[in-house]
Structure 1
Amino acid sequence: MKIMTCFACFCVVASALATAARAEDPPIPRPTAEHKILAAEEGTWDATIKSFEAGPESAPTVSKGVEVNTVMAGGLWVASSFKGDFGGMTFEGRGQYGYDPYKKKYVGTWVDSMSPSLIVLEGTYDAATKTLSYAGDGVCPIDNSKLGMRMVTVAKEDGRRVFTLYATGTPTGGKEAKMMEIEYTKRK
């Protein structure tokens, strides 16, 4: 009987401690205005891709692709899946994007079928121009050297958005060069 009484007391104390601990837990993070900017990219987007393999002054190679963006449960992250064609080769990429309230920066990662490395991104948003800019480092697919990347997305008034990729590294002579431009049109 004493064992049962001690066990019952233990259960009551453990329950009270658990309740007190839950009351002290920080609140569950909720999406902020910054997260809502990313959430606007949710949906399926048709892409017209212009690649500047011979340099930004050359005529681009044009191809098509599709991007599907999903806001994850909780609204804090956007998962992105891209499929397209670059120079006759199938291309796939995956990204995830969010806003880090501690860094006060947009953050993301990117992997794709043409690069052996994970690209970690940090960025900012300019509300006046509706421009989201990220920077990160990748690996050049030609010579495996470090390739600095700047990714700029501008939201247009008509619902389209334009993504431009700039790179800095060995293939660009150490100067920033426009490598790609993608115009996205959201499916209805």
Structure 2
Amino acid sequence: MKKSCTYLAALLITVTACKKEDVKNESATTDSTTVATEKTATEPAKPMDSVAMMEAWKAYATPGDMQKLLAEESGNWSGESKMWMDPTKAPEVTTMKGELKMVLGGRYQEGKYTGTAMGAPFEGKGLVAYNNATGKFEQTWTDNMGTGIMFMTGTYDSAAKTITYSGECVDPATKQPKKIKQIYQIVDANTRKLEGFDTGPDGKEYKTMEITMLRK
């Protein structure tokens, strides 16, 4: 990593040197009056030295409080799932099981879930991370009910103990993108609640799922 960082620093210095411009003065004559105009090139930001760059990468790669928050959920969970295929009708109620663990040195949370959905076996996998560089949570989701990968980003509200995720997915029926949202709540040390929201044909948001998980 040290060699890569040194190379990047050298590259930035070279690019900066190539882009420096002298201040140019131009004279413009309008109605026999000479007006002096000055064009000043915007000075580019100074490149980071190799030491500062290494420190930035170290901060980016080091697990912190938000990764610890994810690690607290490691273990086995079970709970109830409510799914609304039609917001005007009663939800389908099923049970789910989940196994959560931290991977890659405590940097990411990997989740595996099983249950039933629409009368068929359900299996899903999730990967959750807190990106130290952006200050946001990120998650991917895949399951046996589709062939795509869902990606969402979220912000944490420490007072409410909730992570609000937002993103887009493609509607399989219309092939058009639509907005989706999830609210993940830390109810207490042994209880988690997840609510999912979709966008209907009318552009309005409606609730599609509610999952309450209890630590085993």
TM-score, L = length of structure 2? 0.69
Distance 2:178 2:146 in 1: 11
Distance 2:179 2:73 in 1: 25
> After superposition, what is the alpha-carbon deviation per residue over 1:4-40, rounded to whole angstroms, capped at 9, x for unaligned?
xxxxxxxxxxxxxx9xx9xx66548321111112222
- 1:186 paired with 2:215, answer yes
Give the counterpart letter for 1:131 in structure 2: T
1:35 corresponds to: 67
Question: Identity across aligned pairs (percent)?
Answer: 28
Q: Give the superposition deviation at 1:179.
A: 0.1
Q: Retained in 2: the 8 A contact 1:116–1:139? A: no
Q: Retained in 2: the 8 A contact 1:145–1:169? A: no
- 1:100 paired with 2:131, answer yes
Q: Retained in 1: the 8 A contact 2:200–2:206? A: no
1:52 corresponds to: 84
Matches within 5 A, 1:1-188: 27=58, 29-55=61-87, 57-157=88-188, 159-170=190-201, 173-187=202-216
Distance 1:80 1:157 in 2: 19
Moved over 6 A (4+): none
Distance 1:36 1:167 in 2: 30
Q: Give the superposition deviation at 1:139.
A: 2.8
Q: Give the superposition deviation at 1:124.
A: 0.7
Q: Give the superposition deviation at 1:169.
A: 4.2
Distance 2:144 2:166 in 1: 20
RMSD of Structure 2 on Structure 1 (CA): 2.3
Aligned length in residues: 165
SS at match of 1:153: strand
SS at match of 1:31: coil
Give the counterpart letter for 1:36 in structure 2: K
Q: Retained in 2: the 8 A contact 1:146–1:169? A: no
Q: Which runs of 5+ in 1 are unaligned?
A: 1-17
Q: Which runs of 5+ in 2 are unaligned?
A: 7-50
Q: Retained in 2: the 8 A contact 1:115–1:141? A: no
Relative distance call for 1:142 and 1:49 in structure 2 (3 A) is farther
